[in-house]
Amino acid sequence: MSDIIVIRNLKKFFGEIKAVNKISFEVRAGEVFGLLGPNGAGKTTTIKLLMGLLEPEPNGGEMSVFGLNPEKNEVEIKRRIGYVSEEPLIFKSLTPRNLFNFIASIRGLDEGETTERAKEYLESLEALQYYEQLIATLSHGNKQKIQIIAAILHDPDLLIMDEPLAGLDAKSVRVVKEILELHTQRGGSVLFSTHIMEVAQELCDRIGILNKGKLVGIGAIEELRQQSNKLGENLEDVFLRLTEQDTSVEEIVKKLRKSYKKRIKEEMI
């Protein structure tokens, strides 16, 4: 299988913070690749670098998308990508109808056909009733649905989605999963990020585990599962250990309570 995205030794620092620290991975044609990691791991920074949304340029490393250089072939690359950003939708003063018509016009799609498809997606995500409602007035989850539909209307070769399932109910997650499957069946690829292990396990062919800007594990879900079985652990435990999140919640809560009680006692004296 050919590689759709190739990232080599990519770096991005914000002052002292090494947000992305020399990571390398590829996304292959027809696969769903998940970037999995806790808050602050560097997922959004990696995605924004790929989308050319971060200034100044990366601190080091190379990227290619469809074999092209994102710095030199931005227009060609963007034409073939659908992007779902972490923050839901900037077009808040539009209705979904306005937005989808706008997308049809800038992407050179047939307006009637695009409307029909958009409505079909809206219906499958139980959001058709918001077709004429201002996006600003929609709930986070419904904005997210509109954003996902907006990203797939032109049948992109590559979908890049930053925490696309955040705020979606279980039923919609199931529908989005189906949409991604149909997309990969026709040869499309997906790069998406999540901080939730089960989501990665459910949706991805391969995952890269990010922690503090470093890629600490990479592989097919099944491979990772077998490796973790050998270690006598499940995949969730391996993920938590690799990302240093294995301090139990009970311990954290106990510590919080102790310090709170101490403070209250001191205030009473």
Ligand X SMILES: Nc1ncnc2c1ncn2[C@@H]1O[C@H](COP(=O)(O)OP(=O)(O)O)[C@@H](O)[C@H]1O
- Residue 164: CB atoms within 10 A of its CB come to 27
- Rounded-to-integer distance, Cα 77 and Cα 68, Å: 8
Q: Which is nearer to Mg ion, 118 or 207 (CB)?
A: 207
User: Residue 179 Cβ, how far from ligand X at the closest point, in Å?
Assistant: 23
- The helix/strand/coil state of 228 is helix
The only residue of 5, 19, 99, 204 in contact with ligand X, by rule CB under 6 A: 19
Q: Which is nearer to ligand X, 157 or 162 (CB)?
A: 162
Q: Does 156 bind ligand X (CB under 6 A)?
A: no
- Contact between residue 160 and residue 33 where contact means Cβ atoms under 8 Å apart: no
Query: For the chain, what is the total number of helices (H) and then of strands (E)?
Result: 10, 9
- Helix (H) / strand (E) containing 107: helix 96-107
206 by Cβ neighbours in 10 Å (0-12 / 13-18 / 19+) ranks as buried
Q: Which is nearer to Mg ion, 40 or 61 (CB)?
A: 40
Binding mask 43-82 for ligand X (x = CB under 6 A): xxx-------------------------------------
How many CA atoms are closer than 13 Å to the CA of 191, on its beta-carbon side?
A: 27
User: Residue 86 Cβ, how far from Mg ion at the closest point, in Å?
Assistant: 5
- Rounded-to-integer distance, Cα 197 and Cα 49, Å: 24
| Partner touching 19 among Mg ion, ligand X, none, CB below 5 to 8 Å by kind | ligand X
Task: Report 17-76 residues binding Mg ion (CB under 5 A).
Answer: 43-44
User: Residue 47 Cβ, how far from ligand X at the closest point, in Å?
Assistant: 8
- Contact between residue 215 and residue 25 where contact means Cβ atoms under 8 Å apart: yes
- Contact between residue 83 and residue 153 where contact means Cβ atoms under 8 Å apart: no
Q: Which amino acid is at 235?
A: L
Using the rule CB under 6 A, give the single segment among 14-22, 181-189, 217-225, 234-242 that binds ligand X: 14-22
User: Residue 41 Cβ, how far from ligand X at the closest point, in Å?
Assistant: 4
- Rounded-to-integer distance, Cα 209 and Cα 25, Å: 11
- Rounded-to-integer distance, Cα 108 and Cα 154, Å: 9
Binding mask 28-47 for ligand X (x = CB under 6 A): ---------x-xxxxxxx--
Q: Which is nearer to ligand X, 39 or 93 (CB)?
A: 39
The only residue of 2, 9, 14, 155 in contact with ligand X, by rule CB under 6 A: 14
The only residue of 6, 17, 94, 216 in contact with ligand X, by rule CB under 6 A: 17
User: Residue 212 Cβ, how far from ligand X at the closest point, in Å?
Assistant: 8
| Partner touching 37 among Mg ion, ligand X, none, CB below 5 to 8 Å by kind | ligand X
Helix, strand, coil percentages, rounded to 5, for the chain: 45, 25, 30
Q: Which is nearer to ligand X, 49 or 99 (CB)?
A: 49
User: Residue 44 Cβ, how far from Mg ion at the closest point, in Å?
Assistant: 3
- Rounded-to-integer distance, Cα 241 and Cα 174, Å: 28
Q: Give contact residues for ligand X (rule: CB under 6 A).
A: 14, 17, 19, 37, 39-45
For binding to Mg ion (CB under 5 A), which residues are involved? 43-44
